[in-house]
Copies of this chain bind each other. A is one copy, B any other.
Amino acid sequence: MIRLSVFYPSTEGATFDHDYYRNKHVPLCVKTWGLDGAEIDKGVDGPNVAAVHFKFESLDAVRPAMAAEGTAAVLADVPNYTSITPVLQTSEIVD
C-alpha cells in the first residue's frame, strides 16, 4: 500500500479553514481519485497545521490519479481554504 500524505506547514500569517478542508476539499479529492476515504489531521503540536493521508493500492494507482482530469480542480480549490503551500509525501506503508 502507498500513503500519499499532504502536509500544511505552519506559516507566519497563513490561514487554514479546517471546516472547508474537511467538508469540501478532502471529499473532492476522495471523489476525484475514487478512494474509499482519507484520514484528516488537525495539528495540535508540531510543524503542521493540518495534513491528510490517502491510501492507494500501489504506485501505479497514484500516477493516473494525479494525472486525472479532475486533479486540476482539486489543485484550483486549495486557495479556497489556505494560503499555505502544501507539501506532498509519497511513502510505501511497511506491513
Residues of A whose CB lies within 8 Å of any CB of B are 2-3, 5, 18, 22, 39-48, 50-51, 53, 59, 87-95
Extra pairs beyond A46-B90, A48-B91 (18, CB < 8 Å): A2-B44, A3-B39, A5-B46, A18-B94, A22-B94, A22-B95, A39-B93, A41-B89, A41-B91, A41-B94, A42-B93, A42-B94, A44-B59, A46-B91, A48-B89, A50-B91, A51-B89, A51-B91
A41 contacts across to B, CB distance below 8 A:
3, 5, 89, 91-94
Q: Report whether A47 and B94 are in contact in the complex, using a CB–CB cutoff of 8 Å.
A: no
How many copies altogether? 2
Q: How far does the Cβ of A1 sit from chain B's closest Cβ, in whole Å?
A: 9
